[in-house]
Every structure is written in C-alpha cells, then in structure tokens.
Amino acid sequence: MTARTIVITGASDGIGAAAARALSQSGDRVVIVGRSPAKTAAVAESLGADFVVADFASLDEVRTLAAELQERYPRIDVLANNAGGIMGEREITVDGHEKTLQVNHLAPFLLTTLLMDRLVASQARVINTSSAANVLFGKIDLGDLQAETKYSPNKAYGDAKLANILFTRELQRRYNDLGLTTAAFHPGVVATSFSTGSTTLMRLIYQTPLKRLLLGAEQGADTLVWLATARPGTDWASGEYYEKRRIQKANKQAYDQQLATDLWELSSTLVAAHSAPLAS
C-alpha cells in the first residue's frame, strides 16, 4: 500500500506534533508545518519527516507554503489545518487583519483554497481544528469580522473557531461531490502552549501548575488521528463537527448555510489582495 502524504500545520508542538508522531508510526508520510524553525526542524528530525516553516501571521508566507507543497508533493491525501491560538491585546498583522482571525481562520482558508486543485485530484480529506470556544464565545458579525468595534481575546478566538466550522460546512457543500471530505473537531482542553501569547484567564489554566489537570497532547490528538485514518462516509460523516470521535452540537450559527457561504466569499476577498485567483 502506497504511503499517504499528510500535511499538518501547527505541528511543531502540542497536538499537531502528537498527531504527526502517531501518523508517522502508521507508515504515512507526514509533512510538519510550524512557525518556529528550530522546533519544527526538531520534530521533523525526530520522525524522519519533511518540514516547512511558515508563520500564519503573514499571508505571503502562507502563499509560499502552498507553492512549496505543490512543488514537492504530487499528492496530498490529508491536510490538517491545526495551527492557531488565542492572542492577547488586539493586534493587526502585516496584511491588515486582526491577528486571531488571520492565524486561526484566514490563513488556513487561504492555504486550503490555494491547494484545492491538488486536494481534489487526490480525493483528500481536510481536517480543521476548532474548539468548544465556538459555543462559549462565538457570535460572528460579518460587518465586524475584524473586531474593530467589539474585541476581547476570548470572543475573537471563539469567533475564529466558529469560522473554522462554517468553513468546514461550506467546504463540504462546494467540494464533496468532487470527492473531497472534511471535518472540524474540538481536541478537548489540552495542556499545550497555544495560549502563550494570551493575556486572558485561559492562560492561568494553560501556563500554570493547573495545566496538570488538562488532557495530554496525545489524548487531544486522538480525534485528529482518527479523522485522518478512519473511513469518511463510513466511520465519520463529512462536514460535521466532532469531539472524542462523536458528532457534537456546535454554535447555532454553525448551521446557518447562508452565513457559511457569505463568510467564504468575504474570506476570499480579505485574502485575495496581490495573490493568484482562489478556488471558488
């Protein structure tokens, strides 16, 4: 059986690195994508895996990442959009976008759409790491998607994680008939470094001794690994939101098909400046 090519973003640490370890052991060819050159290279070296460095706070780096992946890999069987995190004070990226929105949603949206032809040709599955924060804090207003009038770190993160689910559902609607499958999932409350840049109370849990109460990275990666290896359409349903290998109820906005379509169109506009045309 030919080894599959699995691209995992945010794989230099936490559940991304744990998923990469598990999938490498099963014989898949894993490509590690991370922001830190040293950490990304170290994880890749430990697994004998390929790696690419990209900072999702720069959309030009995402475009370069997409081009490099297409040049290196004639097939991409799984794209795991796992990079993300909760931020601190409101910050604008070099691209002019609110950082939480860009790193968690716009960057993976751009990466996926730039790779779309390759993904469809490979009959790939796209897995998006969301969070229960979509229910706790998410309420998307497309008129204030950049949180210019109403910002808090938790709300920005909740909105971005809700956007991940809306993206999943619209990806399903547009591309499932072409053979693409997709799912979003909540990994659980995992002891990782994803809140390092945050000033919120969540950091007290993730970056203090309270961290010992949280799930390990391997536990958090379990659903990602399952979605990457189990049979879509048989073991799991494409377009759904999962936790612990089970479909979970998401924010009520996640089921608004018009909102999903409108978010896709707005996201396309936001990432399209000075770039090649995106998949529609």
Residue 70 pLDDT > 80: yes
Q: What number of residues does the chain have?
A: 280
pLDDT band for position 238 (50/70/90)?
A: very high
pLDDT tens for 113-147 read: 999 999 999 999 999 999 999 999 999 999 999 99
Residue 97 in contact with residue 106, Cβ under 8 Å?
yes
Q: How large is the average pLDDT for residues 149-160?
A: 96
For tokens 């706070």, the residue is 57
pLDDT band for position 194 (50/70/90)?
A: very low
**Where are any strands of DSSP class E within the chain?**
5-9, 29-34, 50-53, 78-81, 125-129, 181-186, 241-243, 246-247
Residue 250 pLDDT > 70: yes
Indicate if 151 belongs to the active site.
no
pTM: 0.91
Q: Which of 157, 206, 241, 242 is catalytic?
A: 157
Q: How large is the average pLDDT for residues 59-70?
A: 98
Per-residue confidence (pLDDT) for residue 164, from 0 to 100: 98
Radius of gyration of the chain (CA): 17
pLDDT tens for 78-125 read: 999 999 999 999 999 999 999 999 999 999 999 999 999 999 999 999
Query: Can you tell me whether residue 182 is helix, strand or coil?
Result: strand
Q: H-helix or E-strand containing 15?
A: helix 14-25
Give 110's contacts (C-beta < 8 A, 6+ positions apart): 59, 62, 63, 66, 271, 275, 278
